[in-house]
Amino acid sequence: MIKVGRLVCAEQQLCLAHGINLAVCDVLYKKHNYLQDSPTSDDMDDNNDDDHLEDLDCSESEDVEFELVNKIVDVLTPIKLTVEAICRRDANLCTADAALNFLIKQLSSKTQHLPKIKTCLVDRIKQRRSDNLTGVLNYLQNPRKDEENQLLSELEWHNLFPVLTQALLRKQIKSIVKRLNSRDDTEEEERSESLTDVELRPETSQPQLTLKEKLQLEIDKSMKSPDPEIQIQNESGMTNSIRREMSLFENGGVRGYYLETAYKYLMSIPPTNVEPERAFSAAAYVGNKLRSRLGSQTLDALIFLRLYFQNSK
């Protein structure tokens, strides 16, 4: 999954929930020796120590096992809450970063029974977390966040939440804006080509509008607001504009055109792939064997209506 995700040219965030799941599996479901220090009945059966079994009371062994299970559940509780938080429909890279920060802080004092859980989580998150995209969004959300929310000393050694420099922030914002502007230019060229084709058609092929339709067309034109015309600057001009907007934004101003464009783009990136999985599950629920001949448009409309009525309750 990581290799395929890196090959995709789109700006994306690999699923953080899957990384947390793999970290828990690395600790609990793989053959490690994390729990052998505890005197459980299974360990005593493997040792085949008859003298020890005679001295140890069965009730005490069950109490020890029950206490160990409770402590493991206590460690896994913040992990469960964090996964639920980053899998919300309104989650974004900024809220996911806050949830992961909270998780690491909580696990700093609860790893005596699962000592490898925090290390595995850090490794899995570092494999998937997009430092550049998340760093830019955190800056655009609050440029003073790194000064106000000082991370724990334990977080500095593994560098899980790096702080981007001003030069790297400008580079990332510039890359996002150029990407979006190139897409807008392509759409504008396609639109102009389609309009040219329409103009080159003979007048007989164009439908004749009635007097009422012409009147409605003039009314629609009068109510249409002009689109903001932003001239695309050259490389140095865009860099200087982004630098000025960042300076104003850091001094208490609002986000300028370039910063707002990058902010809206980054807010649309989900931290997990749970939402597509929800769509696949809903499609499998609606398009079952009894409805196997439904078309794609009909299936899409049924899923849309299902979600609409679920949210309207």
Q: Is residue 236 part of a domain?
A: no
Is residue 158 domain-shared with residue 289, that is, in the same domain?
no
Total domain count for the chain? 2
Residues 6+ apart with CB under 8 A from 99: 82, 85, 86
Cβ atoms 138, 94 nearer than 8 A = yes
- The pLDDT of residue 142 is 87
When pLDDT is cut at 50, 70 and 90, the band that residue 239 belongs to is confident
State if pTM tops 0.95: no
Of 121, 148, 164, which residue sits at a domain end? 164
Q: What are the angstrom distances between the C-alpha of 26 and each of 4, 118, 123, 143?
A: 22, 11, 11, 36
The CA distance from 104 to 152, in Å, is 9
Of 139, 164, 189, which residue sits at a domain end? 164
Q: Is residue 150 part of a domain?
A: yes
Residue 82 has pLDDT above 90, yes or no: yes
Helix axes 93-107, 131-141, angle to 10 degrees: 100
- The pLDDT of residue 38 is 46
Q: Is residue 170 part of a domain?
A: no
Q: Is residue 239 part of a domain?
A: no
Sign, CA dihedral 50-54-58-64, equals negative
- Report the pLDDT averaged over residues 163-184: 85
Q: Is residue 216 part of a domain?
A: no
- Report the pLDDT averaged over residues 271-290: 87
The percentage of the chain sitting over the pLDDT mark of 90, rounded to a whole number, equals 20
Which DSSP symbol is given to 265? H
Q: Is residue 176 part of a domain?
A: no
Q: Is residue 278 part of a domain?
A: yes
88: burial class by Cβ within 10 Å (0-12, 13-18, 19+)? middle
Is residue 13 domain-shared with residue 160, that is, in the same domain?
yes
> What is the domain extent for residue 293?
274-308
- The pLDDT of residue 17 is 92
Of the listed ranges 49-53, 122-126, 214-218, the least confidently predicted one is 49-53
Helix axes 166-200, 131-141, angle to 10 degrees: 90
The CA distance from 116 to 118, in Å, is 6
Of 140, 164, 188, which residue sits at a domain end? 164
Q: Is residue 281 part of a domain?
A: yes
pLDDT in tens, 127-167: 889 889 999 999 999 887 655 554 444 444 447 788 888 89
Cβ atoms 16, 96 nearer than 8 A = yes
Which DSSP symbol is given to 38? S
- Report the pLDDT averaged over residues 208-228: 77
Is residue 9 domain-shared with residue 146, that is, in the same domain?
yes
When pLDDT is cut at 50, 70 and 90, the band that residue 218 belongs to is confident
- The pLDDT of residue 293 is 87
Q: Report the chain's mean pLDDT, rounded to a whole number.
A: 77
- The pLDDT of residue 236 is 72
When pLDDT is cut at 50, 70 and 90, the band that residue 36 belongs to is very low
